[in-house]
Amino acid sequence: MSTREHWDDVYRSKDPDAVSWYRTRLERSLAWIEACALAPDAHIVDVGGGASTLVDDLLNRGFENVSVVDISETALEHSCASG
């Protein structure tokens, strides 16, 4: 099984909030991003973001150019479905 298949299987078999690494809000990441004092049009890429809520929080804070990249297409589908 490839790495991609593994992560797709994880997100097919569990809800995104049922995995051990899930956090409702990524407060530490948000604090680091805010400490950078980026302009609203800064480009931010969440690598390995999967079904994370970080993109939602960044958009709610006024950031305009946020991208999420993940090896698991299934994780990204969860993210799109919830947004």
Tell me what the mean pLDDT of segment 5-27 comes to. Answer: 88
Domain count, the chain: 1
**In which band, very low, low, confident or very high, does the pLDDT at 82 lie, cut at 50, 70 and 90?**
low
**Predicted confidence (pLDDT) at residue 63 exceeds the cutoff of 70:** yes
CATH of the domain at 24: 3.40.50.150
Does the structure show a pLDDT above 80 at 33? Answer: yes
Supply the range of the domain harboring residue 15.
Answer: 3-82
What are the backbone angles phi and psi of residue 8, rounded to the nearest 5°?
-65, -40
pTM of the model: 0.80
Average pLDDT over residues 15-43: 91
Distances (CA, A) of 43 to 29, 55, 77, 80: 15, 12, 22, 19
